[in-house]
Amino acid sequence: MGKQYDLVIIGAGPGGYVAAKKAARLGMSVVIIDKGDVGGTCINRGCISTKALIHSAILYRDMKDCEKFGLFAEHVGFDLQKIYEYKDLSAAKMREDLEREFAELGIRAVRGAATIQNDRRVRTVLPDGTTEYFEGKYILIATGAKARMVDIPGMNLPGVMTSEELLTSNESRYRRLLILGGGVIGIELATVFNALGGEVTIVEVSDRLLPNMDKEFSDTLEGILTNRGIHVHKESILEEIVHKEEGLGCRYVCQGQNKEAEVDAVLVSVGRTANTEGLFDPDVPVKMENGRIVVDDFFATNIQGIYAVGDVIGGIQLAHVASAQATYVVERMNDVPPSVIVEMVPSCLFVPISIVPSCLYTDPEIASVGLTEEEAKRKGVPIRCGRYVMDVNGQSIISKEEQGFIKILFAADSDVILGAQLMCPRATDMIGELATAIANGLTSAQLMYAMRAHPTYNEAISCAVENSREQRSGR
């Protein structure tokens, strides 16, 4: 017989810890179990750690280039060890805040390896080797995902690593780094090591970086990265990694031509796979598909009382998506009207569109929500696209961050906002306004009701909306 709880949560990342806090505030008894520290991959070796490194790297580059502001700084340098200490302190602060909230809300946090048995019983092997059992009215699985490796000769060599290993290692400065994969994680870390003076090569199998992003933004970002000295090889396949006297040799085919690069390390960033290893006893008949847990529209598995959210079920693999799904599930458990949604059907469409913001913390930042022009064309949706180039934005001129532009899409007939893409400073903060606008079915006229302060980056939204209205009036 195990200890009884209303809710047993497995996984203490953004899905798990948000569910735990929400459930406790609604009066449920909660235990949350994780093999590692609370916060999961996101806080400890993912989102927060990456963004801390990006912040340090961009500050370093800005300090070297501060002469454009009339400032002079001699002997600007960095200590990678101290940068990693700053990253670790940032993660530790978030962990401490979470642990304090857990204590205040009466949430029990357990470190251990959890396995789900029949009758919603969870066997947990603790670090000291002892075993503890928990039983829940409900079980919520939020174990996330782990970095996917590829079957290429040399993948087991020292110096070949995933982002999680890179973010927890500070042994080398990695003067020469090859990144396999031109997705969000790969590009963000390419930005870091390039800004710190490293020679960075990106090898991407598709014909563009960020394959799911608006093509115009992808092409513009590639130009920016190339101008900063990052080597971008698209339509390329890494075939072998070999040991060299001073590092690693990477042999790859780029658009039909054989190439080789000598590097200090290889970062494998080709996606993530659901983390379900050891999660179920063999006689627990949970439905799986391609390694992920299958759930219905309410995030319920095929076993009554067991739910799953976040990366472990596939779909959009973002921390805020896991948190939104977890909130939705806990609210349903308690018969509370849902307070979050991740997609909607605008009044002018017959197909759902995502209102999940997607953010890239490069310089300039990139953020997107809703439909892109390409998606609208594929779905046969008539649109108007308002555009604004940031080089005449007052705040961009002041900060000399003049690269970038904004696109906002409206339904051609009903004028309802359908999507937005931003490439500019603070884009990741500004995208929330446009996600809210899509969720509420606002028109361009309604978006213009609100004044946006001057000078700000945010006022560029008004300019892009106004541009779309000029198209509508035929001016």
How do residues 296-313 score in pLDDT, each as one tens digit? Answer: 999 999 999 999 999 999
Name the strand (E) or helix (H) holding 386: strand 383-389
Residue 436 confidence (pLDDT) above 70: yes
Bridge pairing between strands 272-274 and 176-180: unpaired
Residue 74 confidence (pLDDT) above 80: yes
DSSP state of 120: G
Query: What is the reported pLDDT for 473?
Result: 63
Query: What is the reported pLDDT for 174?
Result: 79
User: What integer is the mean pLDDT of 187-194?
Assistant: 94
List the end-to-end C-alpha distance of the chain, in Å, as a whole number. 74
Instruction: Give me the domains of the chain, ranges plus CATH numbers.
Output: 3-146+273-333 (3.50.50.60), 160-270 (3.50.50.60), 353-473 (3.30.390.30)
pLDDT > 90: percent of the chain:
83
Contact 127, 37 (CB under 8 A): no
What positions carry a catalytic annotation? 454
3-state secondary structure of 436: helix
Query: What is the reported pLDDT for 170?
Result: 64
User: What integer is the mean pLDDT of 312-337?
Assistant: 95
Query: What is the reported pLDDT for 83?
Result: 93
Query: What is the reported pLDDT for 169?
Result: 75
pLDDT averaged over every residue in the chain: 93
* Token pair for 434: 């446009």
> 145-160 pLDDT, tens per residue?
999 989 999 999 999 9
Bridge pairing between strands 176-180 and 199-203: parallel
Question: Angle 331-46-24 (CA atoms, 0-180°, nearest 5)?
Answer: 25
Query: What is the reported pLDDT for 340?
Result: 84
* Token pair for 221: 């970002």
Confidence tier at 324 by pLDDT (50, 70, 90): very high
Cis peptide before 364 (omega within 30 of 0): yes
pLDDT > 70: percent of the chain:
98
User: What integer is the mean pLDDT of 106-127?
Assistant: 96
Report the 10 Å Cβ neighbour count for 64.
13
> 328-375 pLDDT, tens per residue?
999 999 999 988 888 888 877 777 888 999 999 998 999 999 999 999
3-state secondary structure of 227: helix
Helix axes 14-25, 319-333, angle to 10 degrees: 30
137, with CB counted inside 10 A (0-12, 13-18, 19+), is middle
In whole angstroms, give the CA distance from residue 259 to residue 361: 30
Helix, strand, coil percentages (3-state) for the chain, rounded to 5, are: 35, 30, 35
Please give the single-letter amino acid code of residue 217. Answer: F
> 200-216 pLDDT, tens per residue?
999 999 999 998 888 89
Confidence tier at 171 by pLDDT (50, 70, 90): low
> 218-260 pLDDT, tens per residue?
999 999 999 999 999 999 999 999 998 888 999 999 988 999 9
Tokens 């502001």 correspond to 69
Query: What is the reported pLDDT for 246?
Result: 84
Helices (runs of H) and strands (runs of E) counted in the chain: 13, 26
On whether the pTM is more than 0.75, the answer is yes
> 377-429 pLDDT, tens per residue?
998 999 999 999 999 999 999 998 868 999 999 999 999 999 999 999 999 99
Confidence tier at 172 by pLDDT (50, 70, 90): low
Please give the single-letter amino acid code of residue 418. Answer: L
